[in-house]
Structure 1
Amino acid sequence: MTVLSASSPLGRAVTRLVTARTRAAATIAALAVTGAAVAVAVATSSPATAEPGNVVVSENFSSGSLPAGWNAVDGAWKVENGRLYGTSASSGENNKITFGRHLSDFRLEATMRFESVSAATRWASLGIDVPADGATPWWIATMRSGTTAANGLEFAQRTTVNAWVVTNTASAPYAAGTGRDVRVAVEVHGNQARWIFDGREAMRTNSLQRSPNGVQALFVNGGTVSYDDVTVTELPPNGYIRPEGSPFTVIAHRGASAAAPENTLVAQEIARKGGADWIENDVQPSKDGVPFILHDGTVDRTTDGSGNVRDLTAAQIKALDAGSWFGPQYVGERVPTLSEQLADLRNRGGSLLLEIKGKHTRAEVATIIQVIRDEQMMGRVFVQSFEVDALRYTYELAPELPLGLLRSSLDADPVAISRELHLTAYNPDGNALLAKPEVVAPLHAAGVAVMAWTMDSAGLWQRLERIGTDAVITNRASELAGWNSAFMQRASADPTVQITSPVDGARLDRAQSPVIAVAATNADTVTVTLDGNKSAVGRRLDLVKLTAGRHTVRTEVTGPEGTATATSTFTVTVSQAGLGYLILTSGAEPAAINAMTVKLVHAQYAELATYVDRQAGKLVPAEVASVIAADARTLALK
């Protein structure tokens, strides 16, 4: 008789198996408890603004090595188990790998997973505009493992002096943590970008400073992160069309004109702090040809002076008080030149929707464009006007500038005039648009955005959102930004569900015993099936009783706003260690356990299968005998 001792090779292996099973069961049980409490917000609509175009990069790392053209600039990068792993030993290491090519309009997306981090503040990033050699400056869209922090998501630049400039921050609806796949994306249109977390827009920026040759990249800081399914897709150039499920672009009419003297730098600052995406202001020349930011044809209403703007010199306009008329706290505010306004936006953040006010000659339009060029703001200015000639001159002199046609009433054919004038946006009075909402769809089909002016109430905003308006010009920019936040919360009421255990694609041996765990939000009921048979959240899967091969867990949740489903397919693998665990836990008679383990140790798998078949229902319980015999025959064929 052979006795299995703890010191024998098989005995030591079995001890390791039992320990591993205990640890795995405890870990997965903990995951189930945690997962059930996680709040997940996932959109059902794609934020992409058009059908996918040219796919520049599509990589799932199935080759087992770094793809051709991917440059591991610094840090440890390797491909393993069908994923790309990057490691950074400390928070001071911004390790990166570059790839792709320079694009102005594109979507970069990836599945990211924090494998381990030194702290919840550590991060991983999608590189938006990074020199191929990794040199500074570069721009990134960052995600911390503690994504629910106020700065869990960021847009940031690393400057040439290795300083950080963080332009935008936001929190995600749930924590990425470690061990969890998160699908992330960033959509870039020139200096604009949207940060998309698990299918939903989390924030946006219009402060990117693009280089002429920057490519895409992946980053890791203070931990190990794995990436999968990395794609880069070219997008149509008009990033002003609002993706389904995303909020309005907020355009502050004459700055924060409801809270500060219009068309001043203080109004611009208040609007910026209040959440405006763009500042809308008017430009017209002084007597000596200097472009100033003023709405009226005279200075009478908004300054302490009088006279026509075009009859006053730049020195005379600069001497006027443009704030005291609004309130005593604004005494001494000045009328800014276009150059001063652009410099403020360049240095402090923001972009300008610039209305060329009234009739302008070609030379006057050329002066405006030259100021924009001199202030290095060509990528952050959008020109609009009621004057068709002003738009024609702008296109002739600077075709790269986006154009919008202002209208008090709608044209008979908005699409035709948009094509004629090379418009990026058609900008009608909001009430005129609401009277004929059917014009939005053909404009979008032609690649033209729709920006409505000047709408200042929540009731009007709601109606404009329903007809697909892309942007709203408003005197109440901070209120619209708040309305946008509420819109996003309403939009996230759809139920969501994710199977957190067993994870999709898992390969499990017989010694493991995972618990079915589901993370759901906005759900009243949760149903679960295993291979089509009813199961339950929290059920421990006994892999001893499952056949080798693939099995599928499916869950469906229902809530007030609808239903959502998720599936996870795992594989029960056959191994000598797993077969040893089956034998030890089979409940067979001691004599049978000893006989089976002897054959297992000597890899006599065919003899083991024959023995178990003979003893099924006798020395070996019938329900487990068939599994042992099947696994033994599988091993015999290897």
Structure 2
Amino acid sequence: MRLLRVTLPALAVVPLAAAFVAVAPAPAVTEDLEKPEVILEEDFSGDGIPEGWNPVEGDWEVVDGRLVGHSQSSSQQSRITFGSHERNFRVDVTVRFEQVVNAARWTAVALDIAPDGSTPWWIATMRSGTSAHNGLEFGQRTTSDSWNVTNTAPAPFDAGVGQDVQVAVEVRGSRATWIFDGVPVMNTSALRRSEDGVLGLIANGATVSFDDVVVTQLDDEPITRPIGPDSVPAVVAHRGYSGVSPENTLAAIESALRTGAEYVEIDVHSSADGVPLLLHDATLDRTTDGSGVLAEVDSEYVSGLDAGSWFSSAFEGQPVPTFADVLDLMRGRAPTLLLEIKGPETYDELVTIIDVIRERDQLDQVILQSFDEQVLRDSRDIEPELRLALLRSTLDADPVAVAEDFGVVAYNPSWARLQERPEVIADLREAGIAVMPYTINDPHQWEILRDLGVDGVITDHPGRLVGWNARHVQTVPDEPSVQIASPADGATLTRGDVIVPAVIAERADHVEITLGGEPVTEGAAVDVNTLDLGELVVAAEARGVGGVAESSSSVTIEASPAGLVHLVTGPDIPAQLRDQLLRAIDREDWARVATLAENGQGGHRLPEDIAELVAGDARALG
């Protein structure tokens, strides 16, 4: 293993909703960019498995200067871990399938895996039949040994067998870009990062060889965005997804996270006993069933209030979250928290708020902003590493000078005032200071803001802005529109998979989604184990003042050996019967599998619902 410094091309990671796949061109590399540091390089020219590489399952060996991993069946994930925990990195590796059970078998780069190979882990997957609609994937192996596939895309060509493919993945926090043979193919913002996960290589149902592994350290994504025809402003969810959920609640924040918003903006006040709580107003009256000034009541009183019913009975029982609750919800996830301190807060109250961030080691996930200048001065004194932003209801005579005086990374003014002097956007950006105006919900205004070059838009409707950005439209039609973002049309799923319905809708007052004719909730996972084999139609209907729009996609639920393995290895399966079933599956003796499922063996039986699924799938395969 050798450490050295080299230069690699910098590829842009464009944060988008987890369910949406798109690729933006990389910015030009200039001589002024600092050369990225290579932190690990291995060409397997030595004898045996290199030091620091840890085989945890399957057979691994070094043959003719290549690392070779063997997986004998589709149920075995042979894996080896290596490297150190890095937040921002690029991993490059030359990959070659030497032998595969079938074209659906795969290899993967583990992007965050425990050193001992235990679950959960996140991977970037490549099938040998790479040009299939799911030839490339981002996915998670969960603690229950099931799969959560968040993104799929086809590669430009099949990897096949016996052919070297240059694979690279760029990871910045919870965002990643899949790069196949030098071409950026797919982005995700869905990675859930651990505190100590390392890298790894995995083979499934295949023999795979690897060479020339290079891990390069990357910088954090800048807050300012590159200006160009494909540039779009970051999505900032105002008080969470406050357009569809009660503001400043965990429900609103979770909704914002699922849309793919890059920032979640919240408001924090301190209670009389010094507990930081989410609330926009100084009083409890508007958004809870309580009353009074928050600063004059204890957190125990506030904890019993309902902060959701005022918005809709569907949110009855939503509590007023503590600031700690919010940080815990966001840990390991992609968005940055734009924390507004309403002010005036005392110095000690600010210490308490910032200590909550420091105790959770989440300083890099938070930008603290305020209209109150003293709040910014005190926050800088308390924690110099905490990034700050200045909120303004009017523009300063010299915004750049003021922003630099406070040492902020962003200057976030009212859009009403900013549009009176739009030229200050370019001045601020030239100084490296981001501009994220508030609060804009009109797509026509989004177009103006994008063309002016703002870095982010604070909006009550982050889901709409995510979709608008993704399609990068120049104008928004008067009639409503709806597009099914997930599941992908034509997708093939099997047992153990989940369907997470997601749509992109504009100019719609109401959107209804059905799965197989039954209503489903956007973002709610549907277990494929509960569905019948065959074709399933996902339909969406959007209604607005301009009319009705409809969209549909279809997926196919197929029986598969991997799906049967998933069904018969659950926690409620008797061990003796499980082993008999696995042997029959490996032999592809589908009649035997069906008989064991229906009749059991040695007094052991499958749970009735599992037995029906296993027998039906086995007969479908036979």
Q: Give the alignment's TM-score, normalised by structure 2.
A: 0.59
Deviation of the 1:209 alpha carbon: 3.1
What's the CA shift for 1:415? 5.0
User: Which of residues 267, 289, 294 is equivalent to 1:309?
Assistant: 294
Alpha-carbon shift at residue 222 of structure 1 (Å): 2.9
- Write out per-residue CA displacement over residues 59-114 of structure 1, whole angstroms, 9 at most, x where no aligned residue: 6949698897673635435465x876544333454444555555443333445555
Amino acid at match of 2:137: L
Partner in structure 1 of residue 215 of structure 2 = 232
TM-score normalized by the length of structure 1: 0.58
AA in 2 matched with 1:154: F
One of 175, 187, 190 as aligned partner of 1:193: 175
Aligned-pair distance for 1:346? 4.3
Q: CA RMSD in A?
A: 4.3
> Residue 280 of structure 1 aligns with which residue?
265
Aligned equivalent of 2:458:
473
Alignment-mate amino acid for residue 220 of structure 1: A
CA distance in 1: counterparts of 2:22 and 2:253, whole angstroms: 34
- What is the distance in 1 between the residues matched to 2:137 and 2:127? 7
Match of 1:156 in 2: 140
Structure 2 Cα separation of the partners of residues 248 and 184 of structure 1: 29
**Measured at CA, do residues 128 and 68 of structure 1 come closer, stay the same or move farther in structure 2, by a change above 3 Å?**
same
**2:351 aligned partner:** 366
Q: Structure with the greater relative contact order (CA < 8 A, sep ≥ 6): 1 or 2?
A: 1
**Are 1:402 and 2:384 counterparts?**
no
1:202 corresponds in structure 2 to: 186
Shift of 1:300: 2.5
Contact 2:171 2:177 in 1 (8 A): no
The structure with the largest helix share of the pair is: 1
* Code of the aligned partner of 1:172: A
Within a 5 Å distance, the mapping from 1:217-228 to structure 2 comes to: 217-227=200-210
Contact kept in structure 2, 1:201 and 1:246, CA below 8 Å: no
Contact 1:238 1:447 survives alignment (8 Å)? no
Looking at structure 1, the residues matched to 154 and 395 of structure 2 have their Cα atoms a distance apart, in angstroms, of 40
Question: Distance in 1 between the 2:336 and 2:136 partners?
Answer: 24
- What is aligned with 2:241? 256
Corresponding position: 1:170 with 2:155: no
Residue in 1 that maps onto 2:26:
45
Quick check: 1:60–1:83 contact (8 Å CA) kept in 2? no
What does residue 458 of structure 1 align with? 443
Deviation at 1:475, TM superposition (A): 0.7
SS of the residue aligned with 2:245? Answer: coil
Q: What is the CA-CA distance between 1:483 and the residue it aligns to?
A: 1.7
2:318 equivalent in structure 1: 333
CA separation in 2, counterparts of 1:297 and 1:240?
30
C-alpha distance in 2, partners of 1:430/1:125? 45
Q: Indicate if the aligned counterparts of 1:207 and 1:350 stay in contact, CA closer than 8 A.
A: no
1:502-526 per-residue CA deviation (whole Å, 9 max, x = no partner) reads xxxxxxxxxxxxxxxxxxxxxxxxx
Alpha carbons of structure 1 residues 234 and 411: separation in structure 2 relative to 1, 3 Å? farther
Question: 2: distance between equivalents of 1:89 and 1:263?
Answer: 51
**Cα distance between partner residues in 2 of 1:183 and 1:376:** 35
Q: Distance in 2 between matches of 1:356 and 1:288?
A: 17
The equivalent of 1:580 in structure 2 is none
SS at match of 1:255: coil
Q: Which moved more, 1:281-290 or 1:266-275?
A: 266-275
Matched, 1:355 2:340: yes
Tell me which residue corresponds to 1:73: 55
> How far did residue 169 of structure 1 move?
1.1
- Secondary structure in 2 matching 1:384: strand
CA distance in 1, matches of 2:379, 2:250: 25
Question: Secondary structure in 2 aligned to 1:171?
Answer: strand
1:355 to partner: Cα distance: 1.4
* Residues 607-618 of structure 1 aligned to structure 2 (within 5 Å): none
- 1:449 to 1:105, Cα distance in 2 relative to 1, 3 A: farther
| Structure number, greater radius of gyration | 1
Q: 1:157 to 1:423 in 2, by over 3 A?
A: farther
SS in 1 for 2:153: coil
Please list the CA deviations of residues 262-290 of structure 1 after superposition, one character each: whole Å capped at 9, or x if unmatched: 11222223333333344321110112212
1:392 aligns with 2:365: no
> How many Å apart are 1:299 and its aligned residue?
2.0
Assess if the C-alpha contact under 8 Å between 2:81 and 2:117 holds in 1: yes
The corresponding residue for 1:125 is 108
Q: Distance in 1 between matches of 2:164 and 2:417?
A: 46
**Retained in 2: the 8 A contact 1:281–1:354?**
yes
Query: Could you tell me how far apart the structure 1 residues matched to 2:87 and 2:40 are?
Result: 18
2 CA distance for matches of 1:273 and 1:187?
A: 21
| Match status 1:55 vs 2:37 | yes
Cα distance in 2 between the residues matched to 1:370 and 1:387: 20
Matches within 5 A, 1:316-327: 316-327=301-312
Looking at structure 2, the residues matched to 241 and 153 of structure 1 have their Cα atoms a distance apart, in angstroms, of 29
CA distance in 2, matches of 1:196, 1:48: 19
Amino acid at match of 2:215: V
CA distance in 1, matches of 2:365, 2:221: 14
Q: Which runs of 5+ in 1 are unaligned?
A: 1-39, 491-638
Matching residue of 2:583: none
8 Å contact kept, 2:22–2:187? no
- Give secondary structure in 1 for the equivalent of 2:339: strand
> How far apart, CA to CA, are the structure 2 residues paired with 1:347 and 1:103?
13
Aligned length: 445
Q: 1:451 is aligned with what amino acid?
A: M
Equivalent-residue separation in structure 2 for 1:488 and 1:210 (angstroms): 36
Give CA deviations for 1:301-337 in whole Å, capped at 9, x if unaligned.
2223333221222233234332232233333333222
CA contact (8 A) 1:284 1:357 kept: yes
Q: 1:429 aligns with which of 393, 407, 414?
A: 414
SS at match of 1:404: strand
Q: Indicate the residue corresponding to 2:484 in structure 1.
A: none
Task: Give yes or no for contact 2:271–2:295 (8 Å, CA) kept in 1.
Answer: yes
Provide closer, same or farther for how the CA distance between residues 43 and 295 of structure 1 changes in structure 2, counting only shifts above 3 A: closer
Identity of aligned residues (%): 43
User: Once the two structures are superposed, what CA deviation does each residue of 1:509-563 show, in whole Å capped at 9, x if it has no partner?
Assistant: xxxxxxxxxxxxxxxxxxxxxxxxxxxxxxxxxxxxxxxxxxxxxxxxxxxxxxx
Secondary structure, aligned partner of 1:73: strand
Distance 1:44 1:278, change over 3 A: closer
Match of 1:108 among 84, 91, 96: 91
Residue of structure 2 in register with 1:34 after alignment: none
Q: Which moved more, 1:299-308 or 1:60-69?
A: 60-69
8 A Cα contact 2:90 2:168, kept in partner: yes
In 1, distance between residues paired with 2:68 and 2:433? Answer: 41
Q: Which one-letter code corresponds to 1:310 in the other structure? A: A
Give the 3-state SS of the residue equivalent to 1:324 in structure 2.
coil
Q: Could you tell me how far apart the structure 2 residues matched to 1:428 and 1:61 are?
A: 52
Residues of 1 paired with 2:422 and 2:367: CA distance?
Answer: 24
Residue 73 (structure 2) pairs with residue 90 (structure 1): yes
1:233 to 1:413, Cα distance in 2 relative to 1, 3 A: farther
